[in-house]
Amino acid sequence: MATKERNTRNGVASKRRSSSRGGATTRAEGTGLSDEAHGPELDRYDIAILSELQREARLSNAELASRIGLSAAPTWRRVKWLEQQRYITGYRAELDRRRVGLGVLAFVRVDAERNNASATRSLEEAIRALPEVVACHYISGAGTFELHVVVTDLDAYSRWARDTLFKLPNVKDIHTSFSLGEVKSAAALPLSHLRA
């Protein structure tokens, strides 16, 4: 195993030496980066990778490389760097909630009884444990939390609110609005500000 690692390292080192000009390591092809390091800032290739993977996370590395105009090896290194730096936090399949029987999307404002640190933390933990809550935000103005809740139908929501939500610690009141239709429901974030 040690011999194999040494040979691999020697192979990489010899590639770097053979690609150097005038004693300096060349930049990885077209990337503006050396083989050894990635700078702290995102460049146009990183932004292109993020854009493409947001649109289609199942792209092969070869296809991704082709789309952004780099070869496979530097593309793979960049994806790994973006993952390590937490620009990319995961990959998942997007499901059509109606096709899996979740016909109701509710926006629920939760008013807390007390807003001290320990009571709020206790309510946060309870909300995180609820699979029906697909998103939760602290909000300004009236209320403490805004929940996005998915359930099968209105009766199911009524039961869930009565039997689960109102029984959470520190809940004083809830105010619910129901989605009557989705105009846009995209998970992709806008990245044009990064190119400026």
pLDDT in tens, 59-72: 999 999 999 999 99
**Does the pLDDT value for residue 182 go beyond 70?**
yes
Q: From CA 47, how far away is CA 53, in angstroms rounded?
A: 10
What is the spatial distance between Cα 191 and Cα 177, in angstroms, rounded to a whole number? 30
Contact of 187 with 147, CB cutoff 8 Å: no
Measured CA to CA, the distance from residue 52 to residue 138 in angstroms comes to 30
pLDDT tops 50 at residue 11? no
Give Cα separations from 56 to 51, 73, 78, 91, 101 (angstroms): 9, 20, 17, 10, 25
Mean pLDDT, the chain, as a whole number? 84
| pTM of the entire predicted model | 0.74
CA distance linking residue 44 with residue 192, whole number of Å: 11
Give the tens place of pLDDT for each residue, 36-51: 568 888 999 999 999 9
pLDDT of residue 39: 83
pLDDT tens-digit profile of 123-140? 999 999 999 999 999 998
Mean pLDDT of 47-56: 96
Per-residue pLDDT averaged across 53-61, rounded? 95
In Å, the largest CA–CA distance within the chain is 74
In whole angstroms, give the CA distance from residue 37 to residue 63: 24
Q: What is the pLDDT of residue 144?
A: 87
